[in-house]
């Protein structure tokens, strides 16, 4: 989560502008087509007027199978009230608080 950025911007551009990627190797990260032109791993695009090879389809399937879990987690966290309201605890406890909330959520889902 970060501060909002003005205008129509791709997520990866905002991530770069936030400075959080400084010094990080992103060459093994999986991403969607919104990151074309960066050094992350994206899906194979379907060529115009041709079909993808079977290995590209298989690769895209496995790629999406991993990404769907991440996208689902992001969607769930966006609906939590703690992320909609002001955080009223000391800022240095934010990471611990979110970790506890995530742990409780997944504990509740496992039962």
Give the residues of the chain that fall short of pLDDT 70: 1-11, 80-87, 109-111
- Output the pLDDT for position 40: 80
- 30 touches 41 (CB < 8 A): yes
Q: How far is 29 from 10, CA to CA, in rounded Å? A: 16
18: part of which helix (H) or strand (E)? helix 11-18
- In the chain, where are the structural domains located? 1-42
Q: How far is 74 from 43, CA to CA, in rounded Å? A: 20
Taking the complete model, does pTM exceed 0.75, yes or no?
no
- Output the pLDDT for position 8: 62
């Amino acid at each position: 989560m970060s501060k909002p950025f003005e205008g129509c911007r791709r997520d990866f551009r905002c991530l770069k502008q936030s400075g959080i990627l400084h010094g990080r190797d992103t060459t093994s990260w999986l991403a969607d087509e919104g990151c074309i032109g960066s050094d992350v791993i994206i899906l194979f695009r379907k060529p115009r007027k041709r079909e993808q090879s079977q290995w590209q389809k298989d690769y895209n399937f496995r790629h999406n199978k991993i990404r769907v879990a991440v996208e689902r987690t992001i969607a769930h966290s966006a609906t939590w009230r703690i992320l909609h309201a002001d955080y009223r605890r000391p800022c240095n406890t934010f990471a611990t608080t979110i970790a506890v909330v995530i742990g409780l959520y997944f504990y509740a889902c496992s039962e």
